[in-house]
A and B are shown apart, each in its own frame.
Chain A
């Protein structure tokens, strides 16, 4: 296979094209099309690499045919290319892999040998208690010699001279020749690295080097010139010393390296680096050095050189961002401290350091930051952080005590004591429990509240929300990691230390984040399985189970309850038996029970152990295991017991349902009823638990206490949850006590854990089919429940929102002041509570459905997981939605308020209002002291002094004006423009060349009118013509009047006559008139036009003098005025003023026209319009403009351009030329004729 480079392709070439084109020569495997584009994305170069299976001949052919051929507008350039680097890399890697594998085989062999030897009883090449000189059993070639040393039988190659090719060395013969050299030391080979000896020496560099302490590598050598380079080149293989000698002149720059480098070291390097580009560098080494130097310089050098080149030039509108200093990224722009300046010669802080610090920070700050970050992801509300933190605090504060207690108990291991110690938190619970379920729980809640002061519903729910999406499996994982360390520390102690528990919390968040990897438990499971630890875990679990089975340490209390519940299942009964047996061992149980509150700790223990296993710290683990074996035997089993209790609870429920479902063949029980059943069951259980002897009682207490802790906040929902939790899960308490605020989430997560574990247990009793069925059922129910819950939550949300909106409405409307009183808040709270209760009642059903379904869906972990999340949400919803909706509503309200807040309220408007405001502000916003306008004094008095002050103001104002005027003078024109804004209208200068018609501008409407008029004029022209035909009679009379005046103006009667005659002609026939005019004396015409021009000029001058009006259409108006003038001669009837005499007449008329034009758009008078409309028509009719070329050219037509003589001469010249030409042609013709005749 070959790789071809094909260049000079056009951009339109596709891979297929190439494939087709090169397919003729060989099999194209791969086409790699590359297009280079410039910054604007315009391709300027296209080439491709083609992997092609091609023979050499074909390749030649291909090259000859295609190379430099034109194809699609490009000249192909084909060359063979190197193999793709990826392929090469792959090959290399393969080769490396092979290489690596080969020695392994050898090693394997050796290993095998050793193994076999060791099997035979050889240890470290010594075989104890073996007769010297005997073979090692199973190994012919190995002989035991003296001291039990095993020696191989060797085949030695003989020397060249000797006869025997090989010598066999049989150690059995020489076995007694062995001598032990070192009797004391075992012959353990010391690794080479440990073969050390000390080198004496001082602090000078030579001795340092002897000791192997070399100074850090210096990337570049100083080189000033070529010769130097040569020197250095020569010196490459030589000692550094010599080199330095060679470059003596640079010595101060590159001193002999001794351990420490002068701080200024980099500077010269930089200097040299700058020099580098100049000198031509060829050798690889030098290039490398250069690169290294550049690299180093980039870090170490001051950026002087660099910066000098990139001097920034910014536009006038460059935005100054003041106070950007704090920006981390802008560090290099910070103002230099003196220290910095001093240190500027030293290498700046390496960025690596900076980079390093954040992680360490993270590390130091603990997992908190991490956790928080992760939390944020999962968190729904911002307050959660606080709450969680609080919870943590609580926990940490709380834990220690319990831990201590526990430790004490662990040490003493006396039941009574432990009981005493441990019970404290628990004691109250049992008593209360006996009273009534609900009340008891409430009481417990209260108790717990006392304990956990900082808990509130929000935190609870938030925490729930946080953990809603969390799979507990991962929690355990995360915990394990951390606890592994602690377990190491505390491996000696039988009980894990307190930090474990407190730290566990910190890890929880981590775990919270973890689920992102795998949201479904299956995934998580898989991930766990992937880890080595999982196996250990599993084995551990199995072990536990085994142990459990062997020791028959089941769930005494719960089995009791079970029995009370009258569960009739073989398994259960068996367990019950076991439980009863256990019951016999009440002592143990009691102890366990007493430890119940510490369950969490035990859990952590288990976790730690698990962790250690995971972490692969087998040694610690083993020791721990051994040590903890007993403990775990109790604790873990205890946990498991509890968990199993839960499971079994669930199982019971499930089984109940199953039994019912199967027995009654009812597909689904009404969820609510079942849930209530469940509830009842649970309650019953609890009640029964209380009955079942003291041990059970304690357990129940243990159970209850955690539950109470979970429901630390007195909210109803929490209670419900806690009830459920208490009934369902004993272990959750552990977590809940840890995360005292988290109730449901932890429980759900717990459930997951449980579900993991119980799975096998369940499988034993239940058939796979049954399970499947159950799963399906559970799934169905769960989905339905989820839907319902969603609906309800939405409704609930709406309700709350509505309620809150109503709340906020009046507050926003009526609240001119922000009242921070407690009333509103209370109201809110009440509202919220109501909402909560509502929500709870609403979600009650679903809740229990969930639990039910969850319980059923033991195997469907995903489902369960979801459920957990959902449940958490449900719990959350009431509070969270409140939070959100509330906040939203508030925000909404706030927005409204905000928008109106900064408006000046009507009562504060004006000066009086200002005063009122001041008055009010004196008393703050307290309603009671609100100042009304009544409190305002009359302003009349105060206004007088103001008048006085106003005098001063006036003075200031004057000064200001003066200043401004001076400023104008100082600044000149630029200022004038701004100052003259008031008189803009009077003076407008319009640059004609720069003026463009802009339809969007009103001013430019003036331009539009003309085009319209010209359009109109077509239609109007006929009318006018008709009118004009009629008019003459009338006009004649006027005309005479006018003519008299004209006479006066022009003074030439002839002109008058001509005009007189012409006028009627125009009206009748335009063309004739044209001719006539042309034929007629144009000079007259010119004179009149000139006069009009003059007048126009005058008017223009006038304009300039008066208002300096120089506008784009000013010219046209002037021309128009001239044109109109001609026409108006007719239309204007008997002007009173002798307008011809008045030179300003045209001016005035033009002005009028201007006005008309300007007013044209704004409904000017009709007459004016008609007049204007006529002007264009006139324009058309009247052919002579001011600078009409015809007027200048016309007259010339009538006279000879040149003298007659000249013309004659010209003609003579021409004639001669013509003659010659003719003669020539004639000759040619003749020749042609002749030639034709000849031929």
Chain B
């Protein structure tokens, strides 16, 4: 477990900023305590200082998970967001997409969100903007990337994809073994 290098931090923040923008600051600079990002097994964990200290007692190879996994670095050093970060990102999300109840399941099975399943969308969402997907009951379901901007979303035909799937809470079940 080690702190992230500058490069890593940058890539990660770049990714995160797609979803929550400058609200990352609220994650880094929290009033309720010191929180930090740590890399372990290519995975980035977000944890409080307290937990960090506790975790120091565990050897690196034995440490499976600590704090909250935000995502992992791929072999090509790209950062991939994990669904576990949803709890931290959803409250700060700038752009949101609400899916209709009928399309919820589809999304939770890892499919993209089609126009027909799009219930509501934040205005001024740009193309390829990271969005947090909500159910119509305002339950965060996962992450996505807007395939179209808001205006286009109005016009496109019902079967076109409006949000690319990134991560969804269904992964908690589907990828139970790999999610940490």
Distance of A854 Cα from B25 Cα, bound (Å): 76
B102 contacts A322, CB within 8 Å? no
A957 contacts B101, CB within 8 Å? no
Instruction: Determine if A764 is an interface residue (Cβ-Cβ < 8 Å).
Output: no
Q: With contacts A978-B22, A978-B25 known, what are 12 further pairs, Cβ within 8 A?
A: A313-B120, A318-B96, A323-B139, A333-B136, A952-B53, A956-B36, A960-B34, A963-B13, A963-B28, A964-B28, A967-B17, A970-B10
Distance of A341 Cα from B99 Cα, bound (Å): 14
Please give the distance in Å from A328's CB to the nearest CB on chain B: 12
Instruction: Determine if A330 is an interface residue (Cβ-Cβ < 8 Å).
Output: yes
Closest to A333 in B: B136
Please give the distance in Å from A970's CB to the nearest CB on chain B: 4
Could you tell me which residues of chain A, from 165 to 213, have a CB within 8 Å of some CB in chain B? none
Given contacts A325-B137, A333-B101, A338-B105, contact A316 B17 (CB under 8 A): no
Report which of A311, A336, A953, A975 forms a contact with B102, defined as CB distance below 8 A. A336
Q: List 17 A-B contacts (CB under 8 A).
A: A311-B120, A312-B121, A314-B121, A314-B123, A332-B136, A335-B135, A335-B137, A336-B105, A338-B105, A952-B53, A956-B49, A963-B36, A963-B37, A966-B6, A967-B13, A967-B22, A970-B13
Closest to B25 in A: A967
Which B residues have a C-beta under 8 Å from some C-beta of A? 3, 6, 9-10, 13-14, 17, 21-22, 24-25, 28-29, 34, 36-37, 49, 52-53, 94-96, 98, 100-102, 104-105, 115-116, 118-124, 134-140, 150, 153-154, 158
| Residue numbers in B under 8 Å from A308 (CB-CB) | 115-116, 158
A970 contacts B14, CB within 8 Å? yes
Closest to B3 in A: A959
Closest to B136 in A: A333
Instruction: Determine if A340 is an interface residue (Cβ-Cβ < 8 Å).
Output: yes
Given contacts A311-B153, A318-B96, contact A341 B102 (CB under 8 A): yes
Could you tell me which residues of chain A, from 314 to 345, have a CB within 8 Å of some CB in chain B? 314-316, 318, 320-325, 330, 332-336, 338, 340-341, 344
| Residue numbers in B under 8 Å from A817 (CB-CB) | none
Could you tell me which residues of chain A, from 954 to 1010, have a CB within 8 Å of some CB in chain B? 956-957, 959-960, 962-964, 966-967, 969-971, 974-975, 978
| Residue numbers in A under 8 Å from B104 (CB-CB) | 335-336
Instruction: Determine if A16 is an interface residue (Cβ-Cβ < 8 Å).
Output: no
Instruction: Determine if A809 is an interface residue (Cβ-Cβ < 8 Å).
Output: no
Distance of A341 Cα from B105 Cα, bound (Å): 8
Distance of A312 Cα from B120 Cα, bound (Å): 4
Given contacts A960-B34, A964-B29, A971-B21, contact A313 B150 (CB under 8 A): yes
| Residue numbers in A under 8 Å from B95 (CB-CB) | 316
Q: In the A-B complex, list the 7 residue pairs whose CB atoms are closest, starting with the nearest.
A: A333-B136, A312-B120, A336-B101, A970-B13, A320-B138, A325-B137, A313-B123
| Residue numbers in A under 8 Å from B154 (CB-CB) | 311, 313
Distance of A121 Cα from B121 Cα, bound (Å): 86
A311 contacts B138, CB within 8 Å? no
Distance of A322 Cα from B24 Cα, bound (Å): 21
Could you tell me which residues of chain A, from 115 to 149, have a CB within 8 Å of some CB in chain B? none
Could you tell me which residues of chain A, from 288 to 330, have a CB within 8 Å of some CB in chain B? 302, 304, 307-308, 311-316, 318, 320-325, 330
B28 contacts A304, CB within 8 Å? no
Closest to B153 in A: A311
A314 contacts B105, CB within 8 Å? no
Distance of A307 Cα from B118 Cα, bound (Å): 9
Distance of A648 Cα from B28 Cα, bound (Å): 87
| Residue numbers in A under 8 Å from B115 (CB-CB) | 308, 311
A959 contacts B36, CB within 8 Å? yes
A967 contacts B28, CB within 8 Å? yes
Please give the distance in Å from A311's CB to the nearest CB on chain B: 6
B28 contacts A315, CB within 8 Å? no
| Residue numbers in A under 8 Å from B136 (CB-CB) | 332-335
Report which of B10, B22, B123 forms a contact with A315, defined as CB distance below 8 A. B123
Closest to B53 in A: A952
Interface SS majority for chain A: helix
A953 contacts B124, CB within 8 Å? no
| Residue numbers in B under 8 Å from A953 (CB-CB) | 34, 49
B36 contacts A315, CB within 8 Å? no
Please give the distance in Å from B111's CB to the nearest CB on chain A: 13
| Residue numbers in B under 8 Å from A952 (CB-CB) | 49, 53
| Residue numbers in A under 8 Å from B28 (CB-CB) | 960, 963-964, 967
| Residue numbers in B under 8 Å from A315 (CB-CB) | 122-123
Please give the distance in Å from A1011's CB to the nearest CB on chain B: 41
Please give the distance in Å from A989's CB to the nearest CB on chain B: 20
| Residue numbers in B under 8 Å from A975 (CB-CB) | 22, 25
| Residue numbers in A under 8 Å from B120 (CB-CB) | 311-314
A340 contacts B119, CB within 8 Å? no
| Residue numbers in A under 8 Å from B53 (CB-CB) | 952
Distance of A307 Cα from B102 Cα, bound (Å): 11
B9 contacts A966, CB within 8 Å? yes
Please give the distance in Å from A966's CB to the nearest CB on chain B: 5
Given contacts A320-B96, A332-B101, A344-B102, contact A960 B36 (CB under 8 A): yes
| Residue numbers in A under 8 Å from B10 (CB-CB) | 966, 969-970
Closest to A958 in B: B3
Please give the distance in Å from B78's CB to the nearest CB on chain A: 15
Could you tell me which residues of chain A, from 1116 to 1156, have a CB within 8 Å of some CB in chain B? none
| Residue numbers in A under 8 Å from B36 (CB-CB) | 956, 959-960, 963
Closest to A977 in B: B22
Please give the distance in Å from A320's CB to the nearest CB on chain B: 5
Distance of A320 Cα from B158 Cα, bound (Å): 25
Distance of A312 Cα from B125 Cα, bound (Å): 13
Distance of A318 Cα from B122 Cα, bound (Å): 8
Please give the distance in Å from B32's CB to the nearest CB on chain A: 14
Distance of A966 Cα from B15 Cα, bound (Å): 13
Distance of A308 Cα from B102 Cα, bound (Å): 12
| Residue numbers in A under 8 Å from B6 (CB-CB) | 962, 966
Closest to B108 in A: A335
Closest to B162 in A: A311
B17 contacts A970, CB within 8 Å? yes
Closest to A975 in B: B22
Distance of A1216 Cα from B9 Cα, bound (Å): 87
Distance of A334 Cα from B96 Cα, bound (Å): 17
Distance of A836 Cα from B96 Cα, bound (Å): 62
Closest to A970 in B: B13
A974 contacts B22, CB within 8 Å? yes
B17 contacts A957, CB within 8 Å? no
Please give the distance in Å from A440's CB to the nearest CB on chain B: 66
Please give the distance in Å from B109's CB to the nearest CB on chain A: 11
Given contacts A336-B105, A952-B53, A969-B10, contact A311 B119 (CB under 8 A): yes
Distance of A311 Cα from B120 Cα, bound (Å): 6
Distance of A970 Cα from B154 Cα, bound (Å): 31
Please give the distance in Å from B100's CB to the nearest CB on chain A: 6
| Residue numbers in B under 8 Å from A332 (CB-CB) | 101, 136
| Residue numbers in B under 8 Å from A971 (CB-CB) | 13, 17, 21-22, 24
Report which of A312, A316, A325, A335 forms a contact with B124, defined as CB distance below 8 A. A316
| Residue numbers in A under 8 Å from B105 (CB-CB) | 336, 338, 341
| Residue numbers in A under 8 Å from B124 (CB-CB) | 316
Please give the distance in Å from A134's CB to the nearest CB on chain B: 85
Please give the distance in Å from B113's CB to the nearest CB on chain A: 12
| Residue numbers in A under 8 Å from B3 (CB-CB) | 959
Please give the distance in Å from B49's CB to the nearest CB on chain A: 6
Closest to B124 in A: A316
| Residue numbers in B under 8 Å from A302 (CB-CB) | 102
Given contacts A336-B102, A964-B29, contact A957 B34 (CB under 8 A): yes
Q: Which of B37, B95, B138 has the most CB of A within 10 A?
A: B138
Report which of B118, B137, B153, B158 forms a contact with A324, defined as CB distance below 8 A. B137
Closest to B4 in A: A963
Closest to B90 in A: A320
| Residue numbers in A under 8 Å from B49 (CB-CB) | 952-953, 956
| Residue numbers in A under 8 Å from B22 (CB-CB) | 967, 971, 974-975, 978
Given contacts A311-B153, A322-B138, A962-B9, contact A334 B101 (CB under 8 A): yes
Closest to B93 in A: A320
